[in-house]
Structure 1
Amino acid sequence: MSVFRRIIKGSGANAVTLTAKTSEQLFLVPILLSAWSVDLYGEWLLISAIPVYFAMSDLGFLQAGSNELARRASQESEENVVRFFREFTAAFTSWSLLLFLVFCLAAILLPLSRWLHLSILSPREATLTFLALALAALVSMNNAALVAGLRVRKLFHIGLLIRAAGAYGRIIATFFLVFFYSATPVEVAMLNLAVRCIEYATCVVVLQTLSLPPSFAILKRRQEKLFPYMLIGLEFMLMPLAYALSLQGLTVVVGTIVGAAAVAVFSTHRTLARMVTTVLQMFVRPLRAEAGLLQRDEDIPALGRLLMRLSRITFWMSVTMGIPLMLFGGIFFRYWTHGRVDYVMPLFLLLLSASFLEGLWSIASSIRLGSNKHRPIVWGFFVISIVGIALAVLLGKIIGNLGVASSVVLSNLAMCVLTIRATTSLLKLSTRQYLGNLVTPPVDEIRKMGRFLKRKIA
């Protein structure tokens, strides 16, 4: 199968996955607000901030190991690939169990309710909700390790579709629990954990049929030296940490500076605005997967052409989607939140601009993040996120949510400059060439995709 066809399949599956995640974010808001008060929903967001960060991350080691697995699949024997994958998954399982133990100790010993200023949920409910969400996040990360195996079997899209099915399952199950059984935050968190476990078991079964089974021998002595990938992973961890600062960290900033009700206002506006980011990221994961398989010097021209093509497509897709959101976002927002959350147009437009910029640098960063050449991106994002949090605190105290949103725009603008320059230099492209490529309508690409889809349907 050609690289272009794999990209199309991967992008289609990633589009389904991103749609599922967006649907989960969009539908869970009215579902939970219909049964919970705005203050209770705000407390749910505060408790889930840290677990959601871990669900988004891979602790760095996973990305580094996945890139190494892709390199071996293209250059080494099948025996080496299978051995590395089994020891890689066993090591990650061990690390996850250790991390969950840390979560348990923290939840028991630390005054979580007092730190987060919770007034509706009891300390026991807050602890149980936090632990269930944390364990679900760790299961999700281990599932991502299994998707790395599907990546080297050229079935990356299958892993994405399994995760998409899980997201839709969580939406449907949460709806029934909340509407028919008046589910509490603890019960919704337990449901989340159960669905994550089903996703994980499904990936295990698929990999068994592909002769690439994961290993659960967490105490067995390993032949592979995984420590170097842990060191690489330490730098990769800066990426999810920076995302935590720029996403979940801002939730905490709003909650502590403006209040729990303001968290609901900020988060709902940001969720709707990030629909543009979702569209722009449709090609991010497939491009990152292919970058890991194209690491030779002679692959640089082809990789550059691939980036230019995909960047152009996603840019124009975001423009097409961003304009209707800008014009009719307020109408949708009021129906979406049942009119229980006030629509603030300046806040939405600021967050919409930030989402557009985030999508631009996300697609460009895929090349470095998929080939262990990540250093300038991850360190830059980490530093920019810290500065962004400080700026959010300063501006948030002055003008509330609008100040926090302004800091998000400036942070993503800085990341655009950094990422585009770092990526174009690696691929021997000029920044002007890359930007000029973005504003060129993707007529040829649309025609090629149309012919491809027409052949598949026929």
Structure 2
Amino acid sequence: MESSFNKIFKASGAAAFGQIINIVNQLLLVPIYIKFWGPHLYGEWLILSAAPSLIAMAGDLGFGTVAANEMNLCVAKNNRLGALKSFQNTWIVISTFSVIFLLVAFTGIYLSPIDRLLNITDIAEGDSKLILVLFLINILVIQQNSLLLGALRCEGNYVIGMNIGNFSKIAELSLIIISLTFFSAGPVLIVSIILSMSIIAGFIHRIILAKRSSWIYYGVRHFSYKAVKEQLPLALSFLSFPLTQAFSIQGAVIIVGSILGPAAVVIFSTTRTFMNVIKQVVSTLNLAITPELTTAYGKENFEKFKRIFISSIQVLAVVLIGFNLFVLVFGKPLFHFWTKNKVQVSDLFFYSFAIITSVSAVWNLFGIVQGSTNKAKKYAVYNLISIAILIISVIVLTRILGLNGVIIAMLLSELFMLLFVVKDAFGILKYSSAKSFFAQLFTLRLPAIKFLNT
């Protein structure tokens, strides 16, 4: 049987590969779209894709994440029937929501003057409505694919699932570039390519699942309304994370812009984008360790659970030290090069942002303890409170201290999350005090790797 260390190592590689693809996708496609479509048509494409993107933040209403963890926990306890019930319940909930949502959205789109509402002039009205519908269908297909990925994960096949997604993104990027370069493709063809690749990825997920875990199958035999009702509060907890994150990002931008003006927004947004690279590292680490944490927890192997997490904290500590040293030495010159010296930011704001982002990275990793064990209800409440602290503090402090007020507001919000998320994680990890945690943190070195190779 493959060791946990090897699984985490491979998952880290797959997750990192996915992050690289996303970055290349963002950096490469923007100039290509502008070259072949022009700024105005590309702007209309962005407008049409924005509304579905906002809907996508709701994902699978949180049920997919809950199901992935639940199936993983059930398999760890040799309860395949429980995992199958979770899969079928979630599939029915997501599918029912998809059908109702698509019917409502389809009706609304075709009855609304989309071009006039969104100020679309270059794209024909029929095409703009078709583009919106195809984007929405793509989101619903992705929801189904996420459930299949969760099913693959429960028996340790999550690396295969992630790589299916990675290579479908590469194929999608390649087809878009070829279509634009050689066939002068329009927006309808491009969105059709995106949807087609999602559908193909879904079929491949289903084929792999049938071969690796044939006992997981679609059906209604094990549907239980009671089980869905029990999952709903936890699903809403997971749903709150992307929604509150989006609100904090856009909300802070809107408030800063209304109080300090567009110039301040540019400084705030570009600095945040520059520093958020460390959050990509944490996201990669979270994706890699979550399945193994859930499996260890399901098997009630708390010692292994703690060692996996401690090893991850050690890795993050090294990364954060390196990140902050890099920012201290090379950050400002690189930032000015990236912005072509058009964005001037003070040293206090710039270097403080790096520290705040590092604090955020720490509590986000601690939050995976709650997330991987389906104990995210408190975590969601903390998240909502921290957003309230951020918004209120930004409103008050920016009027007094300008952009430095934004830094203080962010610090207050991040420290709140650090305090309560870490405290809650200690309870799940069964650490009686911070002292016992740090004792293991500083003493566990090579034995951690040896332990994971079992």
TM interval, shorter chain, is: 0.7 to 0.9
User: For residues 441 and 271 of structure 1, what CA distance do their matches in structure 2 show?
Assistant: 35
Sort the Cα spacing of 1:324 and 1:343 in 2 relative to 1 into closer, same or farther, 3 A.
farther
Sort the Cα spacing of 1:434 and 1:108 in 2 relative to 1 into closer, same or farther, 3 A.
farther
Q: Look up the match of 2:16.
A: 15
Q: Look up the match of 1:417.
A: 419
Q: Look up the match of 2:342.
A: 342
Structure number with bigger Rg: 2
Greater mean deviation of Cα atoms: 79-88 or 418-427:
79-88
User: For residues 38 and 400 of structure 1, what CA distance do their matches in structure 2 show?
Assistant: 34
User: For residues 312 and 278 of structure 2, what CA distance do their matches in structure 1 show?
Assistant: 16
User: For residues 275 and 301 of structure 2, what CA distance do their matches in structure 1 show?
Assistant: 36
Q: Look up the match of 1:164.
A: 166
Q: Look up the match of 2:201.
A: 199
**Mapped contact 1:388–1:408 kept (Cα < 8 A):** yes
- Residue identity matched to 2:302: I
- Residue identity matched to 2:72: A
Q: Give 1:23-42 correspondences, 5 Å limit.
A: 23-32=24-33, 36-37=38-39
Q: CA deviation at 1:358?
A: 2.5
Q: Aligned to 2:95, what secondary structure does the other structure show?
A: helix
Q: Aligned to 1:247, what secondary structure does the other structure show?
A: helix
**Mapped contact 1:385–1:411 kept (Cα < 8 A):** yes
TM-score (norm 2): 0.78
- Residue identity matched to 2:359: L
TM-score (norm 1): 0.78
Deviations 1:198-222 (A, max 9, x none): 32222112112124376565xx564
Q: Look up the match of 1:242.
A: 244
Sort the Cα spacing of 1:418 and 1:168 in 2 relative to 1 into closer, same or farther, 3 A.
farther
Greater mean deviation of Cα atoms: 365-374 or 248-257:
248-257
Deviations 1:321-347 (A, max 9, x none): 44435544566567767x5x9344457
Give the gaps of 5 or more residues in structure 2.
none
- Residue identity matched to 1:414: F
Sort the Cα spacing of 1:327 and 1:120 in 2 relative to 1 into closer, same or farther, 3 A.
farther
Q: Aligned to 1:294, what secondary structure does the other structure show?
A: helix
- Residue identity matched to 1:165: F
Q: Look up the match of 1:154.
A: 156
User: For residues 296 and 111 of structure 1, what CA distance do their matches in structure 2 show?
Assistant: 52
User: For residues 117 and 258 of structure 2, what CA distance do their matches in structure 1 show?
Assistant: 10
Q: CA deviation at 1:123?
A: 9.7
Greater mean deviation of Cα atoms: 33-42 or 408-417:
33-42
| The one of 428, 431, 436 aligned to 2:434 | 431
| The one of 93, 96, 99 aligned to 1:94 | 96
Q: Aligned to 2:101, what secondary structure does the other structure show?
A: helix
Whether 1:140 and 2:171 are equivalent positions in the alignment is no
Q: Look up the match of 2:63.
A: 61
Q: Look up the match of 1:455.
A: none
Give the gaps of 5 or more residues in structure 1.
453-458
**Mapped contact 2:89–2:222 kept (Cα < 8 A):** yes
Sort the Cα spacing of 1:224 and 1:29 in 2 relative to 1 into closer, same or farther, 3 A.
same
Q: Give 1:226-305 correspondences, 5 Å limit.
A: 226-227=227-228, 228-247=230-249, 249-250=251-252, 269-295=271-297, 298-305=300-307
Whether 1:311 and 2:316 are equivalent positions in the alignment is no
Sort the Cα spacing of 1:119 and 1:265 in 2 relative to 1 into closer, same or farther, 3 A.
farther
Deviations 1:97-138 (A, max 9, x none): 32333444554567888888x687779476555544333333
Q: Look up the match of 1:378.
A: 380
**Mapped contact 1:112–1:123 kept (Cα < 8 A):** no
User: For residues 123 and 180 of structure 1, what CA distance do their matches in structure 2 show?
Assistant: 22
User: For residues 44 and 258 of structure 2, what CA distance do their matches in structure 1 show?
Assistant: 12
Q: Aligned to 1:153, what secondary structure does the other structure show?
A: coil
Q: CA deviation at 1:437?
A: 6.7
Q: Give 1:46-125 correspondences, 5 Å limit.
A: 48=50, 51=53, 54=56, 57-105=59-107, 107=109, 124=125
Q: Aligned to 2:61, what secondary structure does the other structure show?
A: coil
Deviations 1:339-382 (A, max 9, x none): 5x934445765654443232211211111111111111111112
Sort the Cα spacing of 1:399 and 1:371 in 2 relative to 1 into closer, same or farther, 3 A.
same
Sort the Cα spacing of 1:185 and 1:302 in 2 relative to 1 into closer, same or farther, 3 A.
same
User: For residues 393 and 117 of structure 2, what CA distance do their matches in structure 1 show?
Assistant: 22
Q: CA deviation at 1:265?
A: 7.2
User: For residues 243 and 277 of structure 2, what CA distance do their matches in structure 1 show?
Assistant: 22
**Mapped contact 2:70–2:86 kept (Cα < 8 A):** no
User: For residues 45 and 262 of structure 2, what CA distance do their matches in structure 1 show?
Assistant: 7
